[in-house]
Structure 1
Amino acid sequence: MKPNWLFLGLFILIVAACNQHKQEKIEETAPVQLDTISLEPPVFKITYSLDSISDRQHLDSLKSSLSKTERKLVYALNRIDEHRIKPGSKLIIPDSLVADINLYSPFPSTLSLLDSIQKTVLISQRIQAFALYENGDLLRWGPVSTGKQSTGTPSGLYYGNYKAKRKISTIDESWVLPYYFNFMNFEGIGTHEYTLPGYPASHGCVRMYREDAQAIYQWANMWKLESDVIVQNGTPFMVIGEYNFKGELPWLKLVEDNTDNDLNLQEIDTIKVYAQRYKNDPLNLKLEDMGEKEIVL
């Protein structure tokens, strides 16, 4: 009996189609092989909304909607203490609330201009914030309150001088300054814990939260003296930028542009100048690497 060629051909076509469908199914379900070397790390992008506190009930509602950790983050982003918030206050609220405040840093995670400096305290008056860098890597950042308009904090390159766990202000003996670290000796200006009102309000010092002032107190280096003469500088304190007392609060601008508080070109140029001055100062070399003739006072 002759084979039915029409039937045989139809059978072959069906088998081929099934095999092709099976192959496509395998390709669809097979795990995708990613080139992990070429992938960029994920970027944590934050957007902000503005919340204007209308009354006490509104404020209580906001507080109850946030955990203690989340409230702490929101207060830090607004450079303010909880008890300073009142009806009429404006607060920025990030769309994502996580415990790691460094994810919200206006300072870059790596600053190559500082990579040859072991420790740097960077203070930005424009955005009322500080950062700690170790060989150019960001360790910590947080809010500050620098000098008010009549008693501003002078910008410049300074060095950590001396510290005290508890210092009494020379302006008012009732002012106790915990975890004080002086970086302008004759002017008596330094970092320390004190209340943050959400704007520059000090007499020249740099106010901080307690945990931030304590971190600098424990981390930064003091000067080294011999017969009351400086033979080695302490940790550099770089104070940059100017605060616009006539403009809106800088962090509120993040609602429209979440990069507005980042370092600008002028500030980067200033840091570059300060870093070069640091390198040119022989008092910044380690004592064991210097001969007596190299110490210039």
Structure 2
Amino acid sequence: MKQQYTKLILLFSGIILLIFTACNNNAQEPKKEVPPTQLDTISMEPPVFKTTYRLDSIQNKEHLDSLFNDFSEEDVKLVYTLNRIDAYRVKPGAKLIIPDSLVKDLNVYAPFPKLMKPLDSIEKTVIISKRIQAFALYENGNLLHWGPVSTGKQSTGTPSGLYYGNYKAKRKISTIDQSWIMPYYFNFMNFEGIGTHEYTLPGYPASHGCVRMYREDAKMIYDWANMWELKSDVIVQNGTPFMVIGEYDYNDIQPWFKLAENGRSNDLNKAEIDTLKVYAQRYKNDPLNFKFEDLSDQDIVL
């Protein structure tokens, strides 16, 4: 009997030892690395949109029709926008810059940066670039919208500088020619009578100093920008800043045509950005751009 008990004890001891050893081996086994999920490998940053451009010369009406044969109405409008021109002005002999990639979001084609650091403390800013015949709207330095313009022709150029939104009118008649009707007019040079408004775009600077735009763009500024505040005909609060920069080269081809050679050729250059920095500092130094009740203790200088 003792031998049988001894065998049983040895048998159970062996089983317990085997279980302990197996558990111990599992405890010491290194953890296998779990491969990352697909989400971990995806960049959360949106891809940078890139496109190339080609320059087409319109030979005849059939060529124009065939050019836009596979384009949607939105695509055609985008092409005209990039060329700063109205559809009815595109005739045989005209040239058009056309992107190889067509998307609905106009801002992906913007010659203006998405973020303009010098303007980040300014609630609203209108930038007008004479060099590339385009405007941009910024909110606290973030690009909201951009579009084409036609500024002053060589003999009546639009002056560069920092200006402010003054008054606006849904329908204004030109003092130069009463047959010129200017919808959604927003004045930023009071005595000179210069402002933004809807009027035909020929694809080059052609105005008497005002900034011509498509109607939807002129209306957007009309609704979005702020006018001055007056008390007894004295300005007590400036309107939205209008910053006019750059110089158009009247002796060269339209700058957007150069996109066929260099897709970044219409981007703001260093000199223009430096000018915006100067304008932004002037804005901050002008007390008419601030309301006393909106200033913090740190902003108030005694």
For Structure 1 versus Structure 2, the TM-score category normalised by the shorter chain is 0.7 to 0.9
Residue-by-residue CA offset, 1:144-173 (whole Å, 9 max, x unaligned): 000000000000000000000000000000
Partner SS for 2:63? helix
Q: Which residue of 2 aligns with 1:20?
A: none
Which among 47, 63, 82 is matched to residue 42 of structure 1?
47
Q: Which residue of 2 aligns with 1:21?
A: none
The aligned counterpart of 1:24 is none
With over 3 angstroms needed to count, the CA separation of the structure-2 counterparts of 1:281 and 1:81, relative to structure 1, is same
Q: Which residue of 2 aligns with 1:165?
A: 170
SS at match of 1:64: coil
The Cα offsets for residues 78-123 of structure 1, whole Å up to 9 and x where unpaired, read as 0000001011111011111111101110001111110000000000
Q: Distance in 2 between matches of 1:30 and 1:117?
A: 43
Q: Structure 1: how far apart are the matches of 2:281 and 2:241? A: 12
Quote the offset at 1:59 in angstroms. Answer: 1.2
What does residue range 24-35 of structure 1 map to in structure 2 within 5 Å? 32=38, 34-35=40-41
**1:156 matched to 2:156:** no
Q: Is the counterpart of residue 259 in structure 1 residue 273 in structure 2?
A: no
Structure 2 equivalent of residue 282 of structure 1: 287
CA contact (8 A) 1:232 1:287 kept: no
Query: What is the aligned counterpart of 2:253 among 248, 252, 270?
Result: 248
Secondary structure of the 1:263 match is coil
Matches within 5 A, 1:98-137: 98-137=103-142
Post-superposition offset of 1:61 = 1.7
Q: Which residue is equivalent to 1:78?
A: 83
Gaps of 5+ in 1: 1-26, 291-297
Task: Report matched runs for 1:173-192 at 5 Å.
Answer: 173-192=178-197
Give the whole-Å Cα distance in 2 for the aligned partners of 1:264 and 1:186. 31
Shift of 1:285: 0.4
Greater alpha carbon shift after TM alignment, 69-78 vs 41-50: 41-50
Give 1:192's aligned amino acid: H
Q: Which residue of 1 aligns with 2:72?
A: 67
CA-CA distance at 1:63 after TM superposition: 3.1
Does residue 236 of structure 1 match 2:241?
yes
Distance in 1, Cα, partners of 2:60 & 2:146? 31
In 1, the alpha carbon distance for the partners of 2:110 and 2:192 equals 30
Structure 1 outlier segments of 4+, above 4 Å: 29-33
RMSD across aligned positions (CA): 1.8
Deviation at 1:65, TM superposition (A): 2.7
Aligned position for 1:19:
none
Distance 1:115 1:30, change over 3 A: closer
2:219 is the alignment partner of 1:214? yes
Whole-Å separation in 2 of the counterparts to 1:141 and 1:263: 13
Q: What letter matches 1:215 in structure 2?
A: M
The unaligned stretches of length 5 or more in structure 2 are 1-32, 296-302
* 1:34 aligned counterpart, secondary structure: helix
Cα distance between partner residues in 2 of 1:32 and 1:125: 47
Q: Deviations over 1:115-136 (max 9, x none)?
A: 0000000000000000000000
Q: Do structure 1's residue 194 and structure 2's residue 199 form an aligned pair?
A: yes
- Alignment partner, residue 95 of structure 1: 100
Q: Which secondary structure state, in structure 2, belongs to the residue aligned with residue 231 of structure 1?
A: strand
Corresponding position of 1:15: none
SS at match of 1:65: coil
User: 1:85/1:33 Cα in 2 relative to 1: closer, same or farther (>3 Å)?
Assistant: closer
Amino acid at match of 1:92: I
Task: Name the TM-score, length of structure 2 as normaliser.
Answer: 0.84
TM-score by length of structure 1 reads: 0.85
Residue 64 (structure 1) shift:
2.8
One-letter code aligned to 2:195: G
Distance 2:127 2:58 in 1: 32
- Helix, strand or coil at the partner of 1:266: helix
The alignment of Structure 1 onto Structure 2 pairs a total of residues equal to 263
Identity, in percent, stands at 74
Q: What's the offset of the Cα at 1:46?
A: 1.4
CA contact (8 A) 1:146 1:207 kept: yes
